[in-house]
Amino acid sequence: MFKIDVFSHILPEKYLELYRKKSPAVDDQVEVTNRAVINLETRLRLMDRYPDVLEVLTVSQPPLEKFVKPADAVELAKIANDELAELVDKYPDKFIAAVACLPMNDVDAALEETDRAIKQLGMKGVQIYSRIAGETLDNPKFRPLYEKMAGYDLPIWIHPTTDKELDSGGLLGWPFETATAMWRLVMAEIFNEFPNIKFITHHCGSMIPTFSKRLKWLMYPSRIPPTLKNPVEHFRKFYNDTALYGHTAGLMCAHEFFGTDHLLFGTDAPLGPKFGLTQDTIESIERMDITEAEKEQILVRNAVELLALAF
């Protein structure tokens, strides 16, 4: 049985080269120090250890809007997406699909690039971050993107990012930021406005499954819009990867809250020593106290259906 990793990271060669020229600060990001993220030959060699795993490629952090001005972000996004499409076309036995990189500091340009990436390059969704140049995801300026992706019936990947005040190397700030982004999207009634919209969170919905009972008891009527009915159920509409680094109990907690249909195999590859997170994640799913059919859903079937893959 093949497995589809929906949240694997890459910094394509031409994209990274130009990004470095425009902002040397990109070299301070931990992903740039990972050879498998930036070197295709290294990545392919490591992927040979898992011939049954197909990756969905996402451009690794940092967000474009963090370090470059809008015009440069537009240029870089196009280069990245062209490279991703080439990789999917050249290595279909390794990369089953790709997710568009967007210049979110120019929303109009991001909408245009979304159309190009999906219609011309065949991409299966777009990636944004939990904050966009410091702005939260409930900002009305981002609604046109949500409307467009609901129209395409393809997912929006949410990768965490954080402000300096919350920075802990991604350890604590990222889960908080992901959960906060989810909260803001629910409170902004995005799922009411676009009932079929699909978001994929990184790291299994972060804090939401663990605090699901707290969500229920602390959602007083005075805190939520009067037209938002059953807000906890809106949190259950998020899709979530399994990148908990081998933590089966965490997966079971997420499974109890989100259900089988809303969990997708994702590993954070190629991060971790020698692709170790891939093996840890596979084993953590195998240990889950669910049926074999449910495991197959998580490992492959949910991604096939959500991304409309020819598989």
Structurally, how many domains does the chain consist of?
1
Whether 298 is in a domain gets the answer yes
Detail the DSSP E strand segments found in the chain. 3-10, 53-59, 95-98, 100-101, 126-129, 131-132, 135-136, 156-159, 199-201, 239-241, 263-264
pLDDT tier, 167 (very low <50, low <70, confident <90, very high otherwise): low
Instruction: Indicate the residue type of 159.
Output: H
Whether 268 is in a domain gets the answer yes
Residue 281: CATH number of its domain: 3.20.20.140
pLDDT tier, 46 (very low <50, low <70, confident <90, very high otherwise): very high
Whether 60 is in a domain gets the answer yes
Domain residues for the domain of 14 are 3-306
- What confidence score (pLDDT) does residue 215 get? 86
> What single DSSP character describes residue 249?
H
- Tokens for 295? 């495991």
More confident residue, 82 or 229: 82
113-119, long-range: CB within 8 Å, 24+ apart, which pairs? 113/74, 113/77, 113/78, 113/81, 114/145, 114/148, 114/149, 115/148, 116/78, 116/81, 117/81, 117/85, 118/152, 118/154
Whether 94 is in a domain gets the answer yes
Q: For 111-163, write each residue's pLDDT tens digit.
A: 999 999 999 999 999 999 999 999 999 999 999 999 999 999 999 999 999 76
Q: Does the predicted model carry a pTM greater than 0.85? A: yes
Whether 311 is in a domain gets the answer no
How many angstroms separate the CA atoms of 79 and 72, rounded?
11
CA angle 220, 156, 249 (to 5 degrees): 65
More confident residue, 276 or 78: 78
State the sign of the Cα–Cα–Cα–Cα dihedral 171, 268, 275, 65.
negative
